[in-house]
Structures are given as C-alpha cells and as structure tokens.
Amino acid sequence: MRIECPICGSRDRREFYYQGAAVALDRPAPDAGEAAWDSYVHLRENPAGETRDLWHHEGGCGSWLVVTRDTVTHAVHKVELASDVKGAMS
C-alpha cells in the first residue's frame, strides 16, 4: 500500500502511522453530553468499503492526513491535509 502525501508525493505505507477514523476531526463540545462523547470516542461506522481515516506522516513531513480509501481492496482514493479538511469544516 502506498499513500500519496500532498507534500512529499507517493510514499511507502511504512512511513505513515494510522491514527484511526477521521471522526477525530469532529470533536464534540465539552458539554455535548455523554451520548455524543461515547459516540465520538468509541462508536464507529466501521464500513466495509470506502472509509476516511487519519494518518500521520511520521517518517516524512510530519503532516496529519485525511485518507479516503477502500477497506476491502486497500485502494487509496484521495489524500488531503487534515488542516485543509478541518479548515473547510469551520
């Protein structure tokens, strides 16, 4: 598996550390309540197919990336800087 880092280009999967579902970009407010926090911390869509997750390019530029990929085929469809995705959400 190779991941196309927007800064460094196509790199081996070994340079990246998997940080989990991209739900982390959507952190609830501190007072959002137990259900919202349980959902954020524990519950997952866990799709068989297209998913979005966060990867850290720890062996490269250090960027946090949002990777859109397929959990069944391991194909990587899109890689964006997490800062750009987060910026577009606000």
Partner 1 sequence: MRFSGLRVLREGLTGNKGWAPHWRDAEPKAEYDAIIIGGGGHGLSTAYYLAKNHGMTNIAVLEKGYIGGGNVGRNTTIVRANYMQPGNSEFYSHSLKLWEGMEQDLNYNAMHSQRGIINLCHSDGQRDAFARRGNMMIAQGDDAELLDREGVRKYLPYLDFDNVRFPIYGGLLHRRGGTARHDAVAWGYARGASDRGVDIIQQCEVTGIDIENGQVRGVQTTRGAIKAKKVGIVVAGRSGQVAAMAGMRLPIESHILQAFVTEGIKPVIDHVVSFGMGHFYISQSDKGGLVFGGDLDFYASYASRGNMPMMEHVMEAGMTLMPMIGKAKVLRSWGGIMDMTPDGSPIIDKTDTEGLFIDCGWCYGGFKAVPGSGFSFAHLMGTGNHHAPAARFRLDRFRTGRGIMDEEATGSQHNLH
CB 10, CB 54: distance < 8 Å: no
- Looking at the Cβ atoms of 31 and 42, the one nearer to partner 1 is 42
Q: Tell me, what DSSP letter sits at residue 90?
A: -
Report the SS3 class of residue 4. strand
Q: Residue 9, interface with partner 1 (CB under 8 A)? A: no
Sequence-ordered list of residues with C-beta below 8 angstroms from that of 50, at least 6 positions apart, any chain: 68, 69, 70, 71, 77
Q: Residue 31, interface with partner 1 (CB under 8 A)? A: no
Q: Which of residues 47-76 bind partner 1 (CB under 8 A)?
A: 47-48, 51, 53, 71-74
Distance in Å, CB of 17 to partner 1, minimum: 8
Sign of CA dihedral 70, 76, 78, 82: positive
Distance in Å, CB of 88 to partner 1, minimum: 23
Residues that bind partner 1 (CB under 8 A): 1, 12-14, 18-21, 34-35, 38-39, 41-48, 51, 53, 71-74
